[in-house]
Structure 1
Amino acid sequence: MEVRTHRGEGKLQQVIEIGPHRVLTDAAVESGGEASGPEPHDLLAAALAACTALTVTMYARRKGWALDDIAVAVKHGQEGAAYVLRRTIRYIGALSAEEAQRLTDIANKCPVHKTLTGQMQILTEVA
């Protein structure tokens, strides 16, 4: 998968192309943008939240567990030298304590979580 960006219509706005999909990103007004879309760190937090919800939902369905819905919130920001993502998960449904714990274990194995907590490299090439 390749993701591309190009300048949008705003001062700092970027159009992100992900396959056939398009998403806008921008900077906050106080940073010189127009806040016409989420900031890049918001997209990172959104990726973690969405991946968590999708992964847990798929697992619960395979098991036939009574997970009616899942709500995932991610607060994020710089804390000292680290950028911190604080994830809160709320399971909606008639789950046992053991099932809820297992779903939390599975949440920690979602692909985005594994990527963010694993070893990463960013290789930059100027074209």
Structure 2
Amino acid sequence: MSANQITAITELDKSHYKTKVYSGGHFIYSDEPEDVGGTDEGMSPAALLLASLGSCTAITLRMYADRKNLNLDYVKIELEICKEEEMSAGTTIKRRIEFTGELTEDERKRLMVIADKCPIHKILSNPIKIETS
């Protein structure tokens, strides 16, 4: 991960829910499904949150495996977030990680520990303060 400050800009015009998202010279759309009034032309905000956790976890695992010369060929991470109406005092995200490659049981266990060390996991596992101006 870069030590630079991470920033993002989102813009929404009269396109209803289709939102433009800019960060670090990259551009994507976020949107809502048609059944809630969106155009379904981009991932929902919750899906983007899961994608951030999944991709950060995968990158962290790859960095570790490469550094330790582990025979990790492939990582698949499936994520699911609880429904909004189930969020009260907390939010549950389920994460299932599959490894492909010639790994010992100890290496697999260690990779599971390393998964929790990804920066996005750390952010989501601690209290978050959002300052709005």
TM-score, normalised via structure 2 length: 0.88
Structure-to-structure mapping, 1:19-38, within 5 angstroms: 19-38=24-43
For the residues of structure 1 that align with 2:132 and 2:12, how far apart are their CA atoms? 19
Percent sequence identity is 33
Residue 120, structure 1, aligned to residue 125, structure 2: no
Partner of 1:89: 97
For the residues of structure 2 that align with 1:116 and 1:16, how far apart are their CA atoms? 20
1:67 CA drift (Å): 0.4
Q: CA RMSD in A?
A: 1.4
Instruction: Say how many residue pairs are matched.
Output: 125
Partner of 2:106: 98
Residue 2, structure 1, aligned to residue 2, structure 2: no
Is there any run of 5+ residues in structure 1 with no aligned partner, and where? none
Of residues 73-82 and 13-22 in structure 1, the stretch that sits farther from structure 2 once superposed is: 73-82
Q: What is the CA deviation profile of residues 5-41 of structure 1, one whole-angstrom value per residue up to 9, with x for unaligned ones?
A: 1126732110000020001001111211111111000
